[in-house]
Structure 1
Amino acid sequence: MKQVAVFSDVHGNTTAFKAMIADARANGANEYWFLGDLLMPGPGVAEIWRLLQELQPTHLIRGNWDDLVIHGIRGDIDLSRPSHVYFARLAQFVGETLPAGALEKMATWPIAKQIEVGNLKINLSHNLPNLNMGQALFPTNESEKFDQLLVNGADLAIYAHVHHQLFRYGTDERIVLNPGSVGEPFNGQLKLQADMRAQYLLLTFDDQGIADLRFRHVNYQREHERKLAIQADLPYLELYLRHLKTGRVYTHNQELIHKLNEKYHYKADCEAYRTK
């Protein structure tokens, strides 16, 4: 019996990640699959990396924020837009404490792969098989969009990126799943967004296929995460604290981010970092 905890989109939230791991272990998980976006915008870096290494996931997928970490630490992010400065400054923060060799390991993670469990072919990806960003697979899109995940004879596809837990079918009834987000669950409805517990998917496989499937919501102490962010002197601290309170993110609010860039001289920091 294989019991797999499938998780993604930790986004630097150490407290949520620890709670998710504890819940998975308590529920008998004996294998872990990670579908991308480990760090940023939260304060967790070295501790989250340590926890990931302890889990020893069987499969690791590279998300779009993992790419932002890689390119930002290397000084390769264009700074022409306020949100690009945001990504670059956060990556600079990550680079200060990311353990040696971690960046190189992240760069080797694929953005998609096919695996086999019993007689099932399963496609794992962060988003599309050939693109780990964009909104093509937003949960309310038409079924034809999700057929893009079911390539190469897959019976089942599991993707991440949209921060919504999901069970749906492609146009020919093959299954598409999403584990949701550990650190940043999203929902456009205020009552549903109020549930900000850490999310992941617990899948049990036996010799007939999927024996059990559970979408887990795990409580964690957001006040503790808030204290970690303050102690770390996290860039864009106001935005992260607001996110912990409301569940909303402000990544593409160019006007708001521009004001913070000007207030804290983040663009100048990034330019100096690139020069150095």
Structure 2
Amino acid sequence: MRFSISHNLPDKNYGGDLLVENDTEKFDQLLDAETDVAVYGHVHKQLLRYGSQGQQIINPGSIGMPYFNWEALKNHRAQYAVIEVEDGELVNILFRKVAYDYEAELEFAKSKGLPFIEMYEELRREDNYQGHNLELLASLIEKHGYVEDVKDYFDFL
């Protein structure tokens, strides 16, 4: 059993090519003749489907940022998948969603000085992702002196 693992596409770490509603041809980009099962992330939605040649494609979901379009399915549960292989054969794929204390996680992130904590709090509490808001990013970079932090880090190396 041969697996490939990638964040998004093997040669592209961004974009909407692998949104769950896309055509099979998009997902075939994860596969080659050497791949039996492709596992990817990026879109933060659990997924189980097949490529056009029959290989398995899995997205285990997201621990801290699950995305749901359907209101009744929205929740903050951590998502993952268990892939069982016996004697070189895929025998089971289990998708799980488990509750956890994300307020405690936020407090831990604050205690460790997680950069962009304001954005992370908004994401966790309101499901509002601001990672592409360049104006907000620039203001937080300036407010917290993140450019200097990065320079100091590289000077230290």
What residue is the counterpart of 1:8 in the other structure? none
What residue is the counterpart of 2:145 in the other structure? 265
1:176 offset after TM fit, Å?
0.8
What per-residue deviation string (whole Å, max 9, x for no partner) do you get for residues 29-84 of structure 1?
xxxxxxxxxxxxxxxxxxxxxxxxxxxxxxxxxxxxxxxxxxxxxxxxxxxxxxxx
What residue is the counterpart of 2:136 in the other structure? 256
What residue is the counterpart of 2:58 in the other structure? 177
Structure 2: 5+ residue stretches without partners: none
- Map 1:1-276 onto structure 2 (within 5 A): 120-192=1-73, 194-207=74-87, 209-271=89-151, 273-274=153-154
Structure 1: 5+ residue stretches without partners: 1-119
Is contact 1:166-1:177 (8 Å) kept?
yes
Is contact 1:186-1:248 (8 Å) kept?
no
Q: 2 CA distance for matches of 1:208 and 1:267?
A: 49
What is the SS of the residue equivalent to 1:199?
Answer: strand
Partner amino acid, structure 1, of 2:147? K
What RMSD, in angstroms, separates the aligned Cα atoms of the two structures?
Answer: 2.4
Partner amino acid, structure 2, of 1:242? E
1:219 offset after TM fit, Å?
0.9
For the structure 1 residues 250 and 189, does the alpha-carbon distance in structure 2 shift closer, same or farther, using more than 3 Å as the test? farther
Q: 1 CA distance for matches of 2:138 and 2:145?
A: 10
What per-residue deviation string (whole Å, max 9, x for no partner) do you get for residues 188-228 of structure 1?
44443x31111110122234833222110011111211221
Partner amino acid, structure 2, of 1:232? K
For the structure 1 residues 269 and 156, does the alpha-carbon distance in structure 2 shift closer, same or farther, using more than 3 Å as the test? closer
For the structure 1 residues 158 and 234, does the alpha-carbon distance in structure 2 shift closer, same or farther, using more than 3 Å as the test? closer
1:186 offset after TM fit, Å?
1.9
What is the SS of the residue equivalent to 1:240?
Answer: helix
Q: 2 CA distance for matches of 1:261 and 1:190?
A: 33
Partner amino acid, structure 1, of 2:38? A
Q: 2 CA distance for matches of 1:234 and 1:200?
A: 23
Q: 1 CA distance for matches of 2:97 and 2:84?
A: 17
Please, what TM-score do these two structures have when normalized by structure 2? Answer: 0.82
Per mean C-alpha deviation after superposition, the further-off stretch among 229-238 and 160-169 is 229-238
Q: 2 CA distance for matches of 1:270 and 1:125?
A: 27
1:268 offset after TM fit, Å?
4.2
Is contact 1:156-1:175 (8 Å) kept?
yes
What is the SS of the residue equivalent to 1:141?
Answer: coil
Partner amino acid, structure 2, of 1:247? D
What is the SS of the residue equivalent to 2:52?
Answer: coil
Count of residues in correspondence between the two structures = 156
